[in-house]
Chain A
Amino acid sequence: MNFLAAVGRVFLGFLEHTGRLSVFTVVALSHCVRPPIYHRLIGRQMMEIGYFSLPVVGLTAIFTGMVLALQSHTGFARFSAEGAVATVVVLSVTRELGPVLAGLMVAGRIGAAMAAEIGTMQVTEQVDALVTLSTNPFKYLVAPRIIAGLLMLPCLVLVADIIGVFGGFLVGVYQLGYNPATYLHSSWEYLKPIDVISGLVKASVFGFVISLMGCYNGYHSRGGAQGVGQATTNAVVSASILILTSNYILTALFFNK
């Protein structure tokens, strides 16, 4: 009997959570499109997400591109397919590794910061103070972060794509001895717009997920420093899992013909 009760409790808890998240998402989105829009706050969040994440995302991208060239070269040598290295690098980076790795890095950097900031505001009654000063916390705190996440992640991923491919090029030319012109040519030859576009669409979804999870967990944090710590962990973990899950779904939608 106890076992059944425990299962029931977990299930009810899950339903409650899902319901609360759905309501939160709908309210947050409605505030993204309804005036007033706080341009200054959106600008600040765009700087935070886009500009200040560049070093982290750039480093991730360049080493990913480099390692990819190295791995595919040694791997493909077994069946004399070294000519495909450039194509493999460019397709893997634009379709998958650029968006997913940038998403995960930004989830750690930005998702955590959002949850910590909003969570601290919640437990120190700053969110209540916003309400008493006739300012909707969704409009003031959540909407700018979601808009900035939606817009900036594609930009970051575009940069990551370029840097990643460049990393592969560096290793290909200077370490593995490919001809630069041939390498560039085969990079371009099989690349289609959809490869890049699908990556950017994914990035936008990931940006949304990161901001949403950061804000949601921060907004619902309770009980002082410990609660804020818990919210931060939850924000990063849930954003990462949702990124990987939605990545699979989006890939299936784009390429499963």
Chain B
Amino acid sequence: MTAQAKIQLVDVHKSFGSKSVLDGVTVDIAAGESFVVIGGSGTGKSVMLKCILGLMRPDQGSILVDGEETVGMAARDRERVLKKFGMLFQGAALFDSLSVWENVAFGLIQGLRMDRRKAHDKAIEKLYQVGLGADVAKLSPAELSGGMQKRVALARAIAAEPEIIFFDEPTTGLDPIMADVINDLIVKCVKELGATAVSITHDMHSARKISDRMAMLYHGKLIWVGRTADVDRSDSAYVDQFIHGRADGPIKMELRR
């Protein structure tokens, strides 16, 4: 056993009513690595991230962050653990009662108790990193396009420079050039800040670019976990079909039934 895993999931189960979404997910994510989860729409990728964050409680199994069990944790401990995390939500989830810069600076002001002035400057800097100028800082989120909202949410997720960052479809809805800028930003967060990143994406180009390791979620289990370089030699018909985006293959057979 080498260095301790940053995040460890052991046999995590989650179902909604009779519908089982996660059915025994087990994985170790090392500190400082960039991990990408791929998988079809509705297979439970977002649910998996929410379970790790404690926004949803798994029915069974255990989730360790820095070796500390987080399932069923007391509220106070949970708050402490959450300080390590930054999360980009799939739907951006910006606070529409606050302006763009207040959104980005939210974690700095509320969580880290930073001075408003300093937090403002930091927010402008983070907005610049995601390709947005100071002119949007005073707007309200409702005045931005979908892709711009996504980038503001990204700036918010990385503003406090957390140890662990979750990106739920960071490049969806962006043009190819901006998507690549975001890819570079994610790589930079991992390489320069030493953060641990877990990303969900449907964009295979992006997945290959940002990840050290990949996993594929299918029918509630991670059916393949391996290094990104090995993804083309996975020996899994499911993974092959997914990364090449082919309509026919084992996954479609399941759909037809």
| A and B form one complex | yes
- A residues neighboring B (CB under 8 Å): 117, 121, 124-126, 128-136, 140
- Pairs A–B under 8 Å by Cβ, sample size 26: A117-B97, A121-B95, A124-B93, A125-B91, A126-B93, A126-B95, A128-B55, A128-B93, A129-B87, A129-B93, A129-B94, A129-B95, A131-B53, A131-B82, A132-B55, A132-B82, A132-B85, A133-B106, A133-B107, A133-B110, A134-B79, A134-B107, A134-B110, A135-B110, A136-B75, A140-B110
Is B209 interfacial (CB 8 A cutoff)? no
Which 3 residue pairs of A and B lie closest in terms of their CB atoms, listed nearest first? A134-B111, A125-B93, A129-B93
Rounded to whole Å, the gap between the CB of A16 and the closest CB of chain B is 16
- Chain A residue, CB-CB nearest to B97: A117
* Docked complex Cα distance between A131 and B111 (Å): 10
Is B6 interfacial (CB 8 A cutoff)? no
Q: Of residues 97 to 112 in B, which have CB atoms within 8 Å of A's CB atoms?
A: 97, 106-107, 110-111
* Docked complex Cα distance between A226 and B85 (Å): 32
* Docked complex Cα distance between A129 and B90 (Å): 11
Rounded to whole Å, the gap between the CB of B195 and the closest CB of chain A is 15
Q: Of residues 106 to 124 in B, which have CB atoms within 8 Å of A's CB atoms?
A: 106-107, 110-111
Residues of A within 8 Å of B91, CB to CB, are: 124-125
Rounded to whole Å, the gap between the CB of B58 and the closest CB of chain A is 16
Is B242 interfacial (CB 8 A cutoff)? no
A interface SS class: helix
- Chain A residue, CB-CB nearest to B153: A129
Contact yes or no, B79 A133, CB < 8 A = no
- Chain A residue, CB-CB nearest to B160: A133
Rounded to whole Å, the gap between the CB of B109 and the closest CB of chain A is 10
Residues of B within 8 Å of A117, CB to CB, are: 97
Residues of B within 8 Å of A140, CB to CB, are: 110
- Given the interface contacts A133-B107, A134-B107, A134-B110, does A128 sit within 8 Å of B89 by beta carbon? yes
Is B220 interfacial (CB 8 A cutoff)? no
Is B170 interfacial (CB 8 A cutoff)? no
Contact yes or no, A128 B95, CB < 8 A = no
* Docked complex Cα distance between A133 and B85 (Å): 8
Rounded to whole Å, the gap between the CB of B98 and the closest CB of chain A is 10
Residues of B within 8 Å of A134, CB to CB, are: 79, 82-83, 107, 110-111
* Docked complex Cα distance between A132 and B107 (Å): 9
Contact yes or no, B111 A135, CB < 8 A = yes
Partner pick for A132 among B53, B75, B95, B97, CB 8 A cutoff: B53
- Chain B residue, CB-CB nearest to A138: B75
Residues of A within 8 Å of B89, CB to CB, are: 125, 128-129
Is B57 interfacial (CB 8 A cutoff)? no
Contact yes or no, A131 B55, CB < 8 A = yes
* Docked complex Cα distance between A121 and B141 (Å): 13
Residues of A within 8 Å of B111, CB to CB, are: 133-135
Rounded to whole Å, the gap between the CB of B66 and the closest CB of chain A is 17
Of listed A124, A128, A132, residue having the most chain B CB within 10 A: A132
* Docked complex Cα distance between A128 and B54 (Å): 10
* Docked complex Cα distance between A129 and B53 (Å): 11
* Docked complex Cα distance between A117 and B75 (Å): 25
Is B219 interfacial (CB 8 A cutoff)? no
* Docked complex Cα distance between A125 and B50 (Å): 11
* Docked complex Cα distance between A140 and B111 (Å): 12
Is B86 interfacial (CB 8 A cutoff)? yes
* Docked complex Cα distance between A124 and B54 (Å): 17
- Chain B residue, CB-CB nearest to A129: B93
- Chain B residue, CB-CB nearest to A133: B107
* Docked complex Cα distance between A130 and B107 (Å): 9
* Docked complex Cα distance between A124 and B148 (Å): 17
- Chain A residue, CB-CB nearest to B113: A36
Rounded to whole Å, the gap between the CB of A145 and the closest CB of chain B is 13
- Chain A residue, CB-CB nearest to B106: A133
Residues of B within 8 Å of A131, CB to CB, are: 53-55, 82
Rounded to whole Å, the gap between the CB of A142 and the closest CB of chain B is 14
Of listed A121, A124, A140, residue having the most chain B CB within 10 A: A124
- Chain B residue, CB-CB nearest to A126: B93
- Chain B residue, CB-CB nearest to A117: B97
Known: A131-B55, A134-B79, A135-B106. 9 other contacts (CB 8 A): A117-B97, A125-B89, A128-B50, A128-B53, A129-B89, A129-B93, A131-B53, A132-B53, A135-B110
